[in-house]
Amino acid sequence: MTTNEQIVTGERADILDLLSKHRYFLGYTAQGLSDEQANTRSTVSALTVGGLIKHVTALERKWAEFAQAGGGDDVPAEVEFTPEMIAEWESQFRLTETETLVGVLAEYEKVAAATDDLVRTLDLDQTYELPAAPWQPPGVFWSVRRVLLHIAAETAQHAGHADIIRESIDGQKSMG
């Protein structure tokens, strides 16, 4: 039996269900959109449906890597964000000229499948120290469980953002 075929119960099944539910809503929000619509800023926010999916993919990948081995890049307390750093950060919230909605959705599915495998296999009690950052005190440790729940929370939050953006584009709602 492969990892993907294992029967998962209890807490792991709950985490997989939570992730699946919020991923579904995020993906559903994009159904039927063209690339142009997926990259449309339909509110005063700079966010787009395609950009949110791209961002959630990146954050899920990064947190999944952290859940496997800890680590990450420290952010100095006195960091000066250069225009290049800001541009790189902002680029993850929109589709570039070479990206398509189909492409970012496919990448999201790939990253989600890899995270699901981690839910099935990692020690949920394993803890790692978060990288140093000005927005948190030093010495903060998160368990793999907390990392996975954080991924679910981020996905849910951004699915809600995407729903508002989608409704502003064409009136379509994915939630409520």
Q: Given a cut of 70, is residue 127 above it in pLDDT?
A: yes
Q: Give the angle 146-60-42 at the CA atoms, nearest 5°.
A: 120
Residue 175 lies in a domain: no
Asked if 64 and 17 count as a contact pair (C-beta separation under 8 A), the reply is: no
- Max distance between CA atoms of the chain, in angstroms, equals 50
Residue 66 binned pLDDT confidence (cut-offs 50, 70, 90): very high
More confident residue, 85 or 150: 150
Q: Span 168-173, mean pLDDT? A: 91
At 150 the pLDDT is 97
**Phi, psi for 129 (deg, rounded to 5):** -75, 135
Segments in the chain forming alpha helices (H): 10-30, 35-38, 49-69, 83-91, 101-121, 144-170
Residue 50 lies in a domain: yes
Residue 108 lies in a domain: yes
- 176: DSSP letter: -
Which range has the worst mean pLDDT, 41-50, 113-122, 128-137, 153-162?
128-137
At 88 the pLDDT is 83
**CATH number of the domain residue 146 falls in:** 1.20.120.450
At 1 the pLDDT is 46
Q: Span 7-16, mean pLDDT? A: 95
At 85 the pLDDT is 81
Q: Given a cut of 70, is residue 2 above it in pLDDT?
A: no
Residue 155 lies in a domain: yes
**What total of structural domains would you count in the chain?**
1
- Domain housing 121: 3-170
